[in-house]
Structure formats: C-alpha cells, structure tokens
Amino acid sequence: MPCGIPNRGRPFAALNLTFNPSPPNRQRRSLSSAFSEGALLQQVNWIEVTGKMDLTLFRKRVTTTYTIHYIVKFQVDAFGWHSASIKFKVRLNGKEVFCNSMILEPYRVKPNVWQQLPGGEFSVSDSITCGNMEFGMFEVETDWWKGSMVLAGIKINPKTA
C-alpha cells in the first residue's frame, strides 16, 4: 500500500477522527503494514473519519476517476458492525459527488486481515485548477455500539476498468 505517486494515501494520523466516547476508546497501534500506525476503535457508538486533499495533486490532461478505500482490519472480537450502516461521502469544492451506505459485517467475518472498504470515487480533469476534495466515513445516526476495528488510513488510486 504505497503512499506516494501514482498511488496516493494518507495514514490515519493525517485524518480527522472523532469518536464517541472519545479516548481511551481509541488507541494508537503500531502496524506491520505499509502504514506504520493505526487507530484501534475499541468501543464506540458513533464514528466520524474525515480528510481533505488539494485537487491540484490529481490534475490530469484527461478526465481521470479515482477511488478511495479505507484500510481497516477487524479483530477476532469485533462486534456491532451488523446493525449500523456506515456512510461514505466525497465532496469536490464543497459539492457532494458520492454518497453510499453499507453494513460492514461481511468484512468483519474475516478477522485480522487488512481489507479495503470502498469509500467513494471522484473525477478530475485539467479544467480543475484549484480546490479541495473532502472525504468521510460516518456513523453518527445511531447509538449502536461497535468496536475492535483498526483503521490504518486511506488509499486513493486511479480507477481501473
């Protein structure tokens, strides 16, 4: 999971993480993956992970679509991911271009394996000369407890056909 060009990524430390309740229910963890550390969500009833990147990092001569993936691992004792939909959003210059909700239970059944959660996509072209791309993963609508997930970061790659 390289974090350089052409693959773009952000470790969890470069993201804005908000959880309820707040730490100690979120702990930093050393990782043996491409990301050096991650956040362990021990027990939370809502989650908000957001980030922002300058669109000029993605300028191309032709329109290019990029995908965002959240790199996570569920521990053996992961719980609560079957009842609360996680919402993924992407905005370009303040305009929402992607929104999807999904239950993460199918990912939870493969414990201790790094997985890529599809977090959205966006397209840029040479007509974009400035602005920001914002992305987020949210579950703030229920009080359903969930936990034992490690968030390493995100990957952004050109979409392949």
User: Is the per-residue pLDDT at 146 higher than 50?
Assistant: yes
For 138-142, the CB contacts below 8 A with 24+ separation are 138/47, 138/48, 138/49, 138/86, 138/87, 138/88, 138/89, 139/46, 139/47, 139/84, 139/85, 139/86, 139/87, 140/46, 140/47, 140/48, 141/46, 141/84, 142/45, 142/46, 142/83, 142/84
Q: Is the dihedral of CA 104, 154, 69, 48 positive or negative?
A: positive
What type of residue is 156? I
User: Is the per-residue pLDDT at 94 higher than 80?
Assistant: yes
> CA–CA separation, 12 vs 50, rounded Å?
10
Q: Where are the domains of the chain?
A: 8-158
Q: What percent of the chain has a predicted confidence (pLDDT) above 90? A: 46
User: Is the per-residue pLDDT at 9 higher than 90?
Assistant: no
For the segment 135-161, the average pLDDT, to the nearest whole number, is 89
CA 62 to chain centre: 26
User: Is the per-residue pLDDT at 7 higher than 50?
Assistant: no
Fold of 8-158: Jelly Rolls (2.60.120)
Q: Which residue has the higher pLDDT, 75 or 20?
A: 75
> In whole numbers, what is the pLDDT of the chain averaged over residues?
82
> CA–CA separation, 101 vs 113, rounded Å?
22
Q: What percent of the chain has a predicted confidence (pLDDT) above 70? A: 78
Reported as half-sphere exposure (CB side, CA atoms, 13 A), residue 50 has a value of 13
